[in-house]
Amino acid sequence: MYEQIGIWLAAFFTLAIYSFLYKENPVYRFAEHVVVGISLGYFMVYTYNNVLEPRLVRPLFVEGQLGLIPIMLLGLLYITRFFRSVSWLSRYPIAVVFGMAMGLSFPRTMLSMVLRQAEATVIPIYRTGYAWHDVLGSVIIIVGTLTALIYFFFSKPHKGWFFGTGSKIGIWIIMIAFGATFGFTVMGRISLLIGRVQFLLTDWLHLIE
Amino acid sequence: MAENNSIWDKLFNMDRRWIFLLMAVVVIIPFFFKMGLPINTTDEVEGIYNYVDSLEQNDAVMIGFDYQPGTMAENQPMSEAVMRHCFARKVPVFITAVLPLGNGLAEEAIANLTDPDEPGTFQRVRYREWHSYDYGQDSLPSRVTHDQLVNLWERDHQLREDAMGWVFEGVDYVILGYAPLFHIVLLGMGRSIVSQYPADLYGNPTENMPMVKRNKSAREVDLGVTVAGSSAVLWWLTYAHESYGMPIAFGVTAVMATDYLVYLQSGQIVGQMGGLRGAAEYEVMLKRDGYSIEEGKAFRGMDVQSIAHILIVILIVVGNVAYFAGGYHRKGRRLRAGR
Amino acid sequence: MRRTIPLLIVMVGGIMMMIQFFIPHQISQAVFGLYTDYVPVIAGFALILGVGSLTRVHYHKVRRRAENWQYSLLVIFFLYLMPVFGIILPASLGGQAEEPSVFHFLYRWVQIPIQSSMFSLLAFYIASAAFRAFRARSAMATVLMLAAVIVMMGQVPIGDYLGKWFPALGLWILRHPNLGGKRAIQLGVGFGILATNLKIIFGVERNWLGGAGR
Amino acid sequence: MLSLRATVPAMVLFAMAGNVLAQQGAGVLAPPGEVTVSDVPNDGGDQLLVCFEPSPDDERVNSYTVYRRMQGEGDDAWRPVRVLFPGQGTSFVDGRDPDYSVRPGQIYEYRVTALSESGEATGPVYVAEEAADGEWFNTNKVRILIGCAVFLGLIFFFFSKAQSGDKLYLRPIPGIEAIDEAIGRATEMGKPILYIPGLSTISDVATIASLTILGRVAKKVAEYQTPIMVPNRNPIVYTVAEESVKQAYLEAGRPDSYDPDSVFFLTQSQFAFVAGVNGIMAREKPATNFYLGMFWAESLILAETGSLSGAIQIAGTDAVTQLPFFITTCDYTLIGEELYAASAYLGREPKQLGAIKGQDYFKALVMLIIFGTLVLGILDVLANTDLVAWLDHLVTSPAAG
């Protein structure tokens, strides 16, 4: 029963959103505002139930771990954000969370996003058993990365055989890469539409299995 | 020329809602004609599949539901496919989420895989049900394995006829759910899972769960699969893989797929599913090896996807032909055609 | 007090965690443990910011009877309806335990469909833009579109009917030239993150302080 | 790896029921052998590497349980620290289990029990001669430390250089010319300019970059007396944008021609914002559209509408997924880092410029490594050497454990 009501409700909202394709209208606006409220409300509930309750409220108020009081007070400082005269206090919890997160990120990002990527470009051009397109592939990975980096290098003008030619090759490589992104993005958006049509045709209208 | 231009002008200035309508028709009609076009599998997806296929009940997998409902059409089939694979191989699954919305999606995935009205699904037993059950003189081992529990449980319970097998909450899966600052949670789980998640989504204490007893920290988890519609996957890479060596696989939306192949080539991840196509490949392999009785939504969607791509390509070609034939490229542009 | 101490906290915390990474000793592990155990709890409170500012924006709209203020009322209503059904009164639809809760019902049948539909709107706009705006204006744009078409057709099963080499070519583009270009871009992103980390730790970038208490 | 071990053939061995069985009948399980314990390097002193020799009847064993007690404790102190199943090997790192943590400096004793269908067999007790010891530096992370230090050094070097007033060279970025040209065109046509500073928050790097460029554009606009429209989605970005446009009019010496309605807040919801901007484009027919900042799915809808209206469009973002759409629909696109560079170039804030320079030089190092790979790779093919493998070995950081 409830599932049936739910499906009809979902179908209504799906069509309400699609009505935007025809024209912006009150039904669309209704759906859009409903989702703004619900999604943040959902967030609120889950943060309380899954984080604050088991990790703060229960240990502090039920089990009596008083050491958590400073943590709670620090967290509550976020509220000061809404009172102009004391809003600077909200910077304290932000600073604690933010500063350490930045420090945490620095060496790890250096490793996983910079060093590992540089390492992965150090590959042999030819190994026994490589087909011609594999060799070409390795060369393109190495040259492609190098030249695309040259394109984004700002300390030298794009002139001469290294920086001039390099940046030209680089931009072509980047364009091919963007082409791949383009193709995949189109694919992704269509997949999402297919998902909705699948819902409408299967769960709502029962037109297909 | 002027006459010619007016035709193209009309074409370009026609109401775009006609094109919208065309698109709608193209994605609706093919649903009524099942083509079932074959899909070839690629190394990227086989990497994950073969990895999971090498695991068994003493290992463990962690799946991150790191997407929002918005990209559900692409991501949900991926997480369901990997989860089905794990359930069929009895590999315990830890479920986490970078966003609170992931919790609901995880619940929905479990519900789909254990739907009693569908053949080929699993029969679910909730934690409280089997944990507080009276097993007679046999006591329940605290680190009970899937097989041991099935033996005990089947004395009094019968598996549904068309089901693939049992799934016990707390032994075969646990929804740990969302926690804020998930990258720190990942790091913390490297020390202990219970410290980060004292209770699961339903408030059951995790420290009593056999699968948590057998895999106390994320170091003991053999594969992390992050299914995502955002760059949250990089958190897994940086904070789980590079910090304590958890093998990682990506399931990403098509929009992101091309960006993250670099991590496959660098050997930082074991495989990647990209978009609906990636999910469809996984479904094909599941069916091939008998883990499912038919392919899922992703595979069925790929037929429609084919037709829609053809439409887009035709539109691009016609649009450009018209653009150049109509001489628009010469008109009134003072800037040199840039990039 | 207002700026210096928060900036100092950021600097000390940042440098501490940076060094911590290289030190495996127990003391350093203990610092790290304290951080992973308690900071997520503090971060949980950040929710106040989101809920508070949304409430404020829409409350003002309603009070001023701004254009379309009725919709703002709707936002506030649903925003606070969720916690009522989720925390205070976790009631199920018909009162029985097996039935889904109102909270879950709203999520599953209202939020999921709206969000998924919103994202899928783009498929229509892509179709329209494909016809009217994606132009081979230059050699580079031409290359981009050519690669796009090959990759697009290579990804769908029907591409196989154009010849086996076709999907293979699509994959080759994906695995080699795409990889080279993307790696350079990703490296750039990496440098950007690193520089931002440092700029924030050492107080060069102070946007996070916000306008608060200026 | 240094590993000292001592064996204590304890009496316990014979007391164990499993072992008595083992000696009685054929086909009964033989106990596992020697246990070796060594300190794990680069840890906090809370881990020990424990290896044991498997039972001679390994193929029949269902699982091994490793027990541990502190030296000097009694028989009831044995705790099962780890269960290993077939395929999981016969070694593990003790101390990773949060329930059985290893104390630094403590000497432990170990014994292993094998379990099979026919019973269990326990091996002798071994005393570990090595205790867990914590280190002050993780030697596996030397390369990361070098990387971090070099990056830090470069950034600070250029910070100080920028502050001391040295002129830092940045190559000309073609996008900047295009921006000026586009403003000129709007002036000639007497039509307004539309500038969208992205849809993200102020904390986004792209938004900050965009706001800097907005200041420069607004100044030019003020000089030319061309109307400008800046719709906003984020309330905070809106206030900053308003501020910087006002400031630009002041700097251009025309504070009175500043129109307070030119910068405005549209709406926070994504698609309603798009609908609003599309409406503006249809009504006002701007000659030039700037889309600079962070964009998501809306990029395509905006750029399509703009391209149909015949406006010159200049885009710039670091959102890789949106760039292809901008490239195919706009006249000029600033790609990723070009946007940051353009902003640093136009903004002329010394430290931002310094940061760009620092990153650039680190980039040069990476380029050097890759160029080295190319050269050595060719050499490898020609001379049949193995130099790339050597370089790879040189730069690769050990994997995390």
What confidence tier does C85 reach under pLDDT thresholds 50, 70, 90? Answer: confident
Distances (CA, A) of D362 to D201, D341, D357, D375: 29, 15, 9, 20
Residue D231's H or E segment, with its range, is strand D228-232
CB C6 within 8 A of CB A95: yes
- Calculated CA dihedral for residues D122, D125, D129, D135, nearest 10 degrees: 50
- Which chain A residue has its CA at the smallest distance from D171's CA? A157
Any CB–CB contact under 8 A between D390 and chain A? no
Residue A199 CA to residue B295 CA, distance in Å, equals: 17
Examine the fold and report which residue of D67, D102, D128 is the final residue of a domain before the chain moves on: D128
CB D370 within 8 A of CB A145: yes
Distances (CA, A) of B146 to B65, B89, D89, D324: 24, 10, 21, 49
Residue D375 CA to residue A122 CA, distance in Å, equals: 11
Q: Which one-letter amino acid corresponds to residue C201?
A: I
Beta bridge partners of D393: none
| Chain C residue numbers touching D202 (CB-CB < 8 A) | 207, 210
Residue C103 CA to residue A13 CA, distance in Å, equals: 17
Portion 56-95 of C in contact with B at CB < 8 A: none
Strand order across the beta sheet in which D35-39 lies: D35-39, D48-52, D91-94
Q: Which one-letter amino acid corresponds to residue D336?
A: G
User: Is D86 or C185 the better-scoring residue by pLDDT?
Assistant: C185
CB C26 within 8 A of CB C47: no
Nearest to A190 by CA among C69, D17, B312: B312
Which DSSP state fits C209?
A: G
Q: Which one-letter amino acid corresponds to residue B196?
A: Q
pLDDT digits (tens, 9 = 90+) for D192-208: 999 999 998 877 778 88
Q: Distance (Å) from the C-alpha of residue D148 to the closest C-alpha of chain A?
A: 6
In CATH, B41-112+172-326 is 1.10.3470: no
Tokens of B156: 């009094």
At residue D194, the 3 state secondary structure works out as strand
Portion 118-137 of A in contact with C at CB < 8 A: 118, 120-121, 133, 136-137
Portion 190-209 of D in contact with C at CB < 8 A: 202-203, 205, 208
Residue B14 CA to residue D302 CA, distance in Å, equals: 18
In a domain, D146, yes or no: yes
Residue B221 CA to residue B238 CA, distance in Å, equals: 16
Q: Determine the pLDDT at residue B267.
A: 92
pLDDT digits (tens, 9 = 90+) for D229-240: 999 988 778 888
Any CB–CB contact under 8 A between B244 and chain D? yes
Report whether pLDDT(B16) > 90: no
Of residues A36, A121, A155, nearest to D269 (C-beta) = A36
Any CB–CB contact under 8 A between C191 and chain A? yes
What's the CATH code of the domain at D116? 2.60.40.10
Rg (CA), chain D: 35
Instruction: Give me chain C's average pLDDT, please.
Output: 86
Q: Determine the pLDDT at residue C99.
A: 61
pLDDT digits (tens, 9 = 90+) for D377-397: 999 999 988 899 999 998 888
In a domain, D133, yes or no: no
What confidence tier does D13 reach under pLDDT thresholds 50, 70, 90? Answer: very low
Of residues C118, C155, C174, nearest to B261 (C-beta) = C174
Report whether pLDDT(D8) > 80: no
User: Is B44 or A127 the better-scoring residue by pLDDT?
Assistant: B44
Q: Once rounded to an integer, what is the mean pLDDT over residues A115-143?
A: 91
Q: Which one-letter amino acid corresponds to residue A9?
A: L
Q: Determine the pLDDT at residue B181.
A: 84
Distances (CA, A) of B55 to B52, B77, B170, B213: 5, 21, 18, 18
Interchain contact, C23 vs D136, CB within 8 Å = yes
How many residues are present in chain A?
A: 209
Any CB–CB contact under 8 A between A111 and chain C? no
Handedness of CA B39, B40, B42, B48 (dihedral sign): positive
Report whether pLDDT(C155) > 50: yes
B88-97, C204-213, D354-363: least confident range = C204-213
Domain boundaries, chain A: 125-209
How many residues are present in chain D?
A: 401
Q: Let me know whether D90 and D148 are in one domain.
A: no
In a domain, C89, yes or no: no
Any CB–CB contact under 8 A between C83 and chain A? yes
Report whether pLDDT(D11) > 60: no
Residue A180 CA to residue A90 CA, distance in Å, equals: 44
Residue D275 CA to residue A21 CA, distance in Å, equals: 10
Any CB–CB contact under 8 A between C71 and chain D? no
Q: Determine the pLDDT at residue D27.
A: 66
In a domain, D134, yes or no: no
Beta bridge partners of B123: B166
Strand D35-39 to strand D48-52: parallel, antiparallel, or no bridges (unpaired)? Answer: antiparallel
Q: Which one-letter amino acid corresponds to residue C33?
A: G
At residue D334, the 3 state secondary structure works out as strand
Tokens of C104: 């879950």
Residue A196 CA to residue C176 CA, distance in Å, equals: 34
Across chain B, the runs of DSSP E, i.e. the strands, are 61-66, 93-97, 122-125, 165-168, 173-178, 223-228, 248-252, 271-274
CB C115 within 8 A of CB A40: no
Instruction: Give me chain B's average pLDDT, please.
Output: 90
Percent of chain D scored above 90 by pLDDT? 41
What confidence tier does B6 reach under pLDDT thresholds 50, 70, 90? Answer: low
CB A121 within 8 A of CB A140: no
Handedness of CA B28, B29, B30, B34 (dihedral sign): positive
At residue D298, the 3 state secondary structure works out as helix
**D84 CB contacts (<8 Å, ≥6 apart)?**
D63, D64, D65, D66, D90, D92
Report whether pLDDT(B219) > 50: yes
Nearest to B290 by CA among B21, B53, B26: B53
Query: pTM value?
Result: 0.89
With b meaning 16 or more CB within 10 Å and e meaning fewer, what string describes D93-124? bbbbbeeeebebeeebbbbbbbbbeeebbbbb
What confidence tier does D3 reach under pLDDT thresholds 50, 70, 90? Answer: very low
Place of tokens 């990365």: A145
Interchain contact, D85 vs B245, CB within 8 Å = no
**D261 CB contacts (<8 Å, ≥6 apart)?**
none
Q: Which domain holds residue D363?
A: 139-163+353-395
Handedness of CA B72, B78, B82, B84 (dihedral sign): positive
Chain mean position to CA B69? 12
Among A141-155, B10-24, C20-34, C74-88, which range has the highest average pLDDT?
A141-155
Q: Let me know whether D193 and D330 are in one domain.
A: yes
Q: Let me know whether D155 and D115 are in one domain.
A: no
Report whether pLDDT(A192) > 90: yes
| Chain C residue numbers touching A177 (CB-CB < 8 A) | 177-182, 185
Give the end-to-end CA distance of chain A in Å, rounded to a whole number.
20
**B104 CB contacts (<8 Å, ≥6 apart)?**
A42, B69, C104, C107, C108, C112
Q: Once rounded to an integer, what is the mean pLDDT over residues C128-144?
A: 88
Residue D337's H or E segment, with its range, is helix D337-347
Rg (CA), chain B: 24
CB C142 within 8 A of CB A40: no
Q: Determine the pLDDT at residue D201.
A: 80
Q: Determine the pLDDT at residue D10.
A: 39
Report whether pLDDT(B3) > 50: no
Report whether pLDDT(D74) > 60: yes
Of residues A124, A146, A185, nearest to D370 (C-beta) = A146
Chain mean position to CA C128? 27
| Chain D residue numbers touching A122 (CB-CB < 8 A) | 369-370, 373, 388, 391-392, 395-396
Residue D313 CA to residue D304 CA, distance in Å, equals: 10
Q: Let me know whether D266 and D383 are in one domain.
A: no
Provide φ and ψ at D230, rounded to 5°.
-125, 90
Report whether pLDDT(B335) > 70: no
| Chain D residue numbers touching B220 (CB-CB < 8 A) | 96
Q: Which chains touch A (3 or more CB pairs under 8 A)?
A: B, C, D
User: Is C211 or A119 the better-scoring residue by pLDDT?
Assistant: A119
Nearest to C92 by CA among C111, C113, C106: C106
Q: What is the DSSP string of A58-107?
A: IIIIIS--GGGHHHHHHHHGGGGGGSGGGGGGGHHHHHHHHHHHHHHHHH
In a domain, C148, yes or no: yes
What confidence tier does D22 reach under pLDDT thresholds 50, 70, 90? Answer: very low
Q: Once rounded to an integer, what is the mean pLDDT over residues A16-39?
A: 89
Portion 89-128 of C in contact with B at CB < 8 A: 104, 107-108, 111-113, 115-116, 118-120, 123-124, 126-128
Q: Once rounded to an integer, what is the mean pLDDT over residues A50-76?
A: 90
Number of separate domains in chain D: 3
ipTM more than 0.95?
Answer: no
In a domain, D169, yes or no: no
Farthest CA pair distance, chain C: 70
Q: Let me know whether D253 and D152 are in one domain.
A: no
Which DSSP state fits B330?
A: G
| Chain B residue numbers touching C37 (CB-CB < 8 A) | 188, 195
In a domain, D202, yes or no: yes
Nearest to D119 by CA among D24, D205, D245: D24
Q: Once rounded to an integer, what is the mean pLDDT over residues B59-65?
A: 96
In a domain, D401, yes or no: no
Tokens of D266: 């549209």
Which DSSP state fits B141?
A: P
Tokens of B248: 């990682």
CB C80 within 8 A of CB D258: no
In a domain, C144, yes or no: yes
Helices assigned H by DSSP within D229-335? 235-251, 270-284, 298-308, 323-329
Tokens of A164: 């001039």
Q: Once rounded to an integer, what is the mean pLDDT over residues D84-89?
A: 83
- Selected residue of D167, D337, D373 to mutate for chain A interface (largest A Cβ count, 10 A): D373
Q: Determine the pLDDT at residue C98.
A: 56
Number of separate domains in chain C: 1
Beta bridge partners of D108: D70
Q: Determine the pLDDT at residue B334.
A: 36
Residue C11 CA to residue A100 CA, distance in Å, equals: 8
**A159 CB contacts (<8 Å, ≥6 apart)?**
none
Residue D57 CA to residue B238 CA, distance in Å, equals: 42
Portion 69-108 of A in contact with C at CB < 8 A: 71, 74-76, 78-79, 81-82, 84-88, 90-108
Q: Determine the pLDDT at residue D6.
A: 38
* CA angle (D263, D267, D272) in 5-degree steps: 120
